[in-house]
Amino acid sequence: MRKKKLLAFAMILIVMFNLVSCGNTSAGGKTDQVNTDQTGQENAVQKKAGAFPGTTDEDTVVLDITTEPVEMNSILVCDAVAMSILSHCMSGIARLDRNDEPVADLAEKWDISADNTKYVIYLKQNAKWSNGEPVTAKDFYFAWVTQMKPDTGAFMASFLYENIKNGEAFYNGQADESELGIKVRDDYTLEIEWSHPMTDGLFLLALPMYFPMNQKAYEEIGAAEYGKDADKMVTNGAYRLTEWTHDDHMMLEKWDDYYNASDIRIPKVKLAMIGDTNTRLNAFTTGEIDLCNIYSEQIAQVKDKDEKAIHTYIDGGTWYLGFNMENEYLVNENIRKALAYSIDTQSLLDNVIADGSVAADGLVPEMIAGAGEKSYASARGSLFAYDLENAKKYMELALEELKIAAADIKLTLDVVDTSYSQNQAAYIQQQWKTNLGIDVTINAQAWKALQEAKENGDFNISIEANGPTENTAMTFLEYFASDNVNNMGKYSNPEYDRLLADADEQGDAGKKQELMIQAEKLLLDDMAMGPLYFTCTTYAVSDKVEGLVRTPFQYFNVCDGASINAR
């Protein structure tokens, strides 16, 4: 069972979700001559000149990424922005297409065992590094083993050592490198043995943590300096990083020696770093950038000028109430149910958040893939909805069981001290006062202080936000396993743990999904968390850019059919 998922990556994603605003929503964003509706169906839009023609350089598009990437060394990568940039500069065994499905990249083909525990990868023989060396199976072996060494300090090492056979024992110094489930058969054949059935293994192999690394360049540049500047990295992907003015911009230029260069249609991509939302929108409207995220009233401003410039997608963020199961009141299941069911989330979304986010009907959002053609959530069905009548019944039962009156309950709602979180908290506080007759105190703290308090169990109810690291329901469900370091509420149910463990060992995708659905239903039956809403991202794109892809797992992608429209 994958149980040590680091907080770093999840929390970086959550920062991106905190200020998100959107209108209509769909499962992914493809910026071409279409808009998307609530069901994700594309509706044709007549192609015509709009109010935002875009930047003037004919061979360059300018995308705003808002901030400097944290780490451009694929062995140490930890943030979503860097991952998207690296996905343009690097090629791995697989890549994600515009629908977040893994497809072959450097792999010519692969053989997967019937039980999904063994993959044999056959690599293309015409790929090379920007230093002229061929890309071989040894490059993958070096990168993966280096990440799994604890001295490396790789933030995402658990994505490898918890999945590769004997990886955890190797990470903990209990197994030799020769015992790892990675074998180089020859220069272009790599064998992977997983520690458990990996029905989503190809998706993992498309992520930057599984990219190769040129050992010669890594050792010559040095781990401490690798990826710190444009001239301190060697790449093998569609683009080369040719310029990096820190905290200002980066320049990606198409690499003509890329094995698939003929499919790359945009010669240059400039990545601007504009932190202020108003400055960013002004840069977009004046033709200095071709892409920017937009928020709240900015959406209406852009819509008034050119509605077809606006695009939006469900970004995978899920917000919910976190309960401290060791609290004297919250240990009672009925009081947790009363608190969760008594919040009119749609009213919260309409009147407070007002950004088009979707009321949550469970923990796992709609955009997560399922075992078949349906999404996981569609196969699962709705597990939760606002229900004031039953909330009051649960409250009566709780008071009887605890032998107290509503006025005796003393609880805090512990939130980060941003206006976004405090506005939500104030609404929820009032809902509980009006609907249940209980007074809950809002305790707003700086993020670091709040995080430390939760790690120490010093909280009552929190407003939590998580995002997906993999395209599977497990990435959300595992947070509530008894031994997960992120399970700060200390929820513990042996049956829930068993279901997750069985799902982790299940090689049949359909059976694995059914076990995860059972686990999520149990989580909601126990009301270990109180669903609130699923978030989305809204952004504006100039007429210059066509085919740009943005999804929960791809901050941006110009390698899958994106092009520049002729003026």
- Based on the domain organization, do 119 and 208 belong to the same domain? yes
**Confidence (pLDDT) at 347:** 96
- Based on the domain organization, do 323 and 240 belong to the same domain? no
**Confidence (pLDDT) at 70:** 87
**Confidence (pLDDT) at 91:** 98
* Alpha-carbon gap, residue 128 to 219, rounded angstroms: 18
Q: What are 250's strand-pairing partners?
A: 244, 271
* Ranges of the chain with pLDDT below 50: 1-27, 32-48
**Confidence (pLDDT) at 42:** 34
The DSSP secondary structure of 263-276, one letter per residue, reads: G---SEEEEE----
- Based on the domain organization, do 475 and 339 belong to the same domain? yes
For residue 273, which of 64, 72, 84, 81 has the smallest C-alpha distance? 64
**Confidence (pLDDT) at 78:** 86
* Alpha-carbon gap, residue 503 to 512, rounded angstroms: 5
Instruction: For residue 517, give the DSSP letter.
Output: H
* Alpha-carbon gap, residue 78 to 305, rounded angstroms: 37
- Based on the domain organization, do 471 and 549 belong to the same domain? no
Q: How far is CA 77 from CA 178, 228, 390, in A?
A: 26, 12, 46
Report the predicted TM-score, pTM, of the whole model to 2 decimal places: 0.81
- Based on the domain organization, do 546 and 491 belong to the same domain? no
Domains in the chain, number: 2
- Based on the domain organization, do 491 and 560 belong to the same domain? no
**Confidence (pLDDT) at 261:** 96
CATH number of the domain that residue 456 is part of: 3.10.105.10
Neighbours of 81 (CB within 10 A): 22
**Confidence (pLDDT) at 206:** 97
Residue 323 near residue 382 (C-beta atoms within 8 A): no
Q: How far is CA 90 from CA 130, 178, 183, 403, in A?
A: 10, 27, 22, 62
SS3 534: strand
State residue 177 phi and psi, 5-degree precision.
-55, -35
- Based on the domain organization, do 119 and 143 belong to the same domain? yes
Residue 154 burial (C-beta neighbours within 10 Å; 0-12, 13-18, 19+): buried
| Domain boundaries, position 404 | 314-537
**Confidence (pLDDT) at 29:** 55
Is 258 domain-assigned?
A: yes
Angle between helices 509-525 and 494-505 (to 10 degrees): 160
